[in-house]
Amino acid sequence: MRRFARAQEQRATRQFELESALRHALDARELFLMYQPRVSLQTGVIMQSEALLRWRHPVHGLVSPAEFIPIAEEASLIDTIGAWAMSTACRETGQLQRLARTLPKVAVNVSPQQFVNPRFTAQVEAALERAALAPDQLEIEITESMLLADAGRTVQTLRALRALGIEVAVDDFGTGYSNLGWLASLPLNRLKIDRSFVTKMATDPRSDALVGAIIQMAHALELKVTAEGIETAEQAQRLRELGCDEAQGFWFSRPVSLQALRTLLAPVSRLLADGTRAA
Ligand code: C2E
Ligand code: MG
Ligand code: MG
């Protein structure tokens, strides 16, 4: 009991510490974005990248977003941090597109609290404008649970984003409790199949069947499909056979810095000829 109580206390202390540190993290420039390529399974070309938040805490080192995003949500800091992530992802992608002279789009994760904020669409539009990035170069990733909560406002926001030309993907698909009826009627563009299914595919025929069924269902609803968490050549090959459009995972690339993404996009010879450096 005592050990349990101590572990709980330590967790609470760390959470408290992280919460107060997170309040200053933006001003202290401790937050930054990494980008993970998303690759077309038909052509092998990098079509998009997903912007992933990172926090370098002066004492604790790199803190995972899986740990600090829920803290930011609870402490009502996610609006500010989320808006920063959106602006930064748009600005850096604009720079990248001008430097690399290719058009990898960017996907940005959005928390439920941001999505239900009445100012959200206007904030996104302003971020795109400041970055001189076309709206069709941005995809917003929402989670299944957001499709269930506050349905009226969600639909309104989805329509407003789509009207601007922004694409919307459902992240971690298969882990929440999607109402399949909503899936058919909402103006969505893409499903991202959760890593847990991809991981089990090779050893569990049921997971393989499920992934195949999700891809077919998505295509029937005119949605594109990205599989997450591909770590082996076999998984990539199988997903291609199943008709999956796009893949993201350590097999292709871990999340990398903007500079590293630029090198992945442009042949090195062209970087030499250009003599330009990423800002
Ligand atoms: P997510 O949006 O599902 O992002 C994919 C996560 O899977 C990333 O973890 C990525 O590094 C990891 N991943 C990608 N490929 C592989 C693989 O092959 N194997 C394994 N084991 N993992 C892989 P990360 O960066 O730690 O992010 C965790 C979650 O934090 C994200 O999951 C997302 O829900 C949230 N997050 C990250 N950035 C933001 C943000 O800017 N805003 C919000 N609201 N949430 C964010
Ligand atoms: Mg995501
Ligand atoms: Mg995901």
Instruction: Provide the pLDDT for residue 270.
Output: 62
Range of the domain at 110: 28-266
Write the residue with the smallest CA distance to atom 28 of ligand 1.
Answer: 66
> Is the pLDDT at 275 greater than 60, yes or no?
no
Within-domain flag for 192 = yes
What string of H, E and C letters represents the secondary structure of the chain?
A: CHHHHHHHHHHHHHHHHHHHHHHHHCCCCCEEEEEEEEEECCCCCEEEEEEEEEEEECCCEEECHHHHHHHHHHCCCHHHHHHHHHHHHHHHHHHHHHHHCCCCEEEEECCHHHHCCCCHHHHHHHHHHHHCCCHHHEEEEEEHHHHHCCHHHHHHHHHHHHHHCCEEEEEEECCCCCCHHHHHHCCCCEEEECHHHHHHCCCCHHHHHHHHHHHHHHHHCCCEEEEECCCCHHHHHHHHHCCCCEEECCCCCCCECHHHHHHHHCCHHHHHHHCCCCC
What confidence tens digit (pLDDT) does each residue in 69-102 have? 999 999 999 999 999 999 999 999 999 998 877 7
Average pLDDT over residues 49-73: 96
Which ligand does the CA of 36 lie closest to? 1
Average pLDDT over residues 174-183: 80
Within-domain flag for 23 = no
> Is the pLDDT at 279 greater than 50, yes or no?
no
Tell me the average pLDDT of the chain. Answer: 91
Average pLDDT over residues 253-273: 81
How many structural domains comprise the chain?
Answer: 1
Entry pTM: 0.93
Cα(52) to ligand 1 centroid in Å equals: 6
Average pLDDT over residues 25-54: 96
Within-domain flag for 7 = no
Within-domain flag for 79 = yes
- pLDDT level of residue 271 (50, 70, 90 thresholds): low
Cα(177) to ligand 3 centroid in Å equals: 15
Cα(17) to ligand 2 centroid in Å equals: 26
Write the residue with the smallest CA distance to atom 10 of ligand 1.
Answer: 255
Here the CATH number for the domain that contains residue 55 is: 3.20.20.450
| Among the ranges given (96-110, 116-130, 172-186, 200-214), the one the predictor scored with the smallest mean pLDDT | 172-186
Q: Which of 69, 234, 248 to mutate to test the pocket of ligand 1 (most atoms within 8 A of CB)?
A: 69
Within-domain flag for 260 = yes
Within-domain flag for 1 = no
Instruction: Provide the pLDDT for residue 267.
Output: 64
Instruction: Provide the pLDDT for residue 278.
Output: 44
Within-domain flag for 275 = no
- pLDDT level of residue 268 (50, 70, 90 thresholds): low
What confidence tens digit (pLDDT) does each residue in 181-225 have? 888 888 999 999 999 999 999 999 999 999 999 999 999 999 999
Instruction: Provide the pLDDT for residue 230.
Output: 97
Instruction: Provide the pLDDT for residue 146.
Output: 83
Within-domain flag for 74 = yes
